[in-house]
Copies of this chain bind each other. A is one copy, B any other.
């Protein structure tokens, strides 16, 4: 069977599915990509059983068949092919795939398709249509706050709450929380916890491919199915009770500080030079009147920098893990932000001035 296709399309599809190929496995076939050939299209599938990515390209083929190709070898080869025109030829009897492009020829030993794990899920009629940009933004602005420790169960996931008019993602770890809400005409309600690692992969695949604006999200049993362009990504969700994150959010704050984002980012970056190798990466923030002073200290020396702020409420001296602050400031696109504090042991809340619907919460580090 001969298959004619374009290098650029093939390359993009293989890049997308490669995110789901497990890096280490005892089952060699899982390090492969399932290729299913129809007369006018070819579908590639890779899975590590927690995340499955399918990508379809247009081809011209003189038959139908399916087989499994070693992922790393095939992706590496395709990215380097000399010409845009590619001919693939599959010899079923020898499970061998020939690849031709210009004066380049190769043969790749494949696996039989029967052994590849295949999951068929009935999709629902209740899909949510949402812009790709919104999904990427939701993920970028929350997933970094999820726990990286597998022992923390559901907290390694991103809680995704959908109602008629909006979609909200929430990520909570021991010392911090991120909540981001975007408008979306979902037309249904749902509540699932998606592992942060997997949702970050989904975000990467979306970024790699941007021909259409909209995508669909479907929630079926314990799986979420993302469809965009010619890709379909299915991820397993986490089961369990997510914490009542709304209860953690303090309603009243005694101290409110308005800060220019780029100024505090650069000052924290400089103060961190001394403490980046310390465990708690402690920086001390002292706000007196309309002046914020950032301090850091180690046995090599000390650093101090001042920035102007607009403050209401009492003066305060409070300690933070610099990384937690930086993680938040890095994903904020606003020029200015508001910090809400109560005292130097209660969580600090970071919110928007622009009306964008985010809330970050960071627990202080105790200082003497």
Q: Are B306 and A103 in contact (CB under 8 A)?
A: yes
Q: How far is the CB of A329 from chain B (nearest CB, A)?
A: 16
Interface residues on A, range: 20 to 34
* Interface pair A273/B77, CB less than 8 Å apart: yes
Asked if B77 and A302 sit within 8 Å, CB to CB, the answer is no
Q: Contact: B80 with A270, CB < 8 Å?
A: yes
C-alpha spacing A301/B73, complex, angstroms = 9
Q: In angstroms, how far is the closest chain B Cβ from the Cβ of A44?
A: 18
Contact of A273 among B80, B107, B109, B270 (CB under 8 A): B80
Q: Which of A305-323 contact B (CB under 8 A)?
A: 305-307
A81 partner residues in chain B, CB cutoff 8 A: 270
Known A80-B273, A269-B80; judge A303-B109 contact (CB<8 A).
Answer: no
- A191: min CB distance to chain B, Å: 44
A104 B301 Cβ-Cβ under 8 A: no
Name the residue on B nearest A76 (C-beta): B273
Nearest Cβ in chain B — how far from A314, in angstroms? Answer: 23
Interface status of A165 (Cβ within 8 A of chain B) = no
8 Å CB interface, A83-114 against B: 96, 103-109
Q: Do residues B302 and A103 form an inter-chain contact, with CB atoms below 8 A?
A: no
Q: Given known contacts A70-B300, A82-B266, A266-B82, is B77 in contact with A305 (CB within 8 Å)? A: no
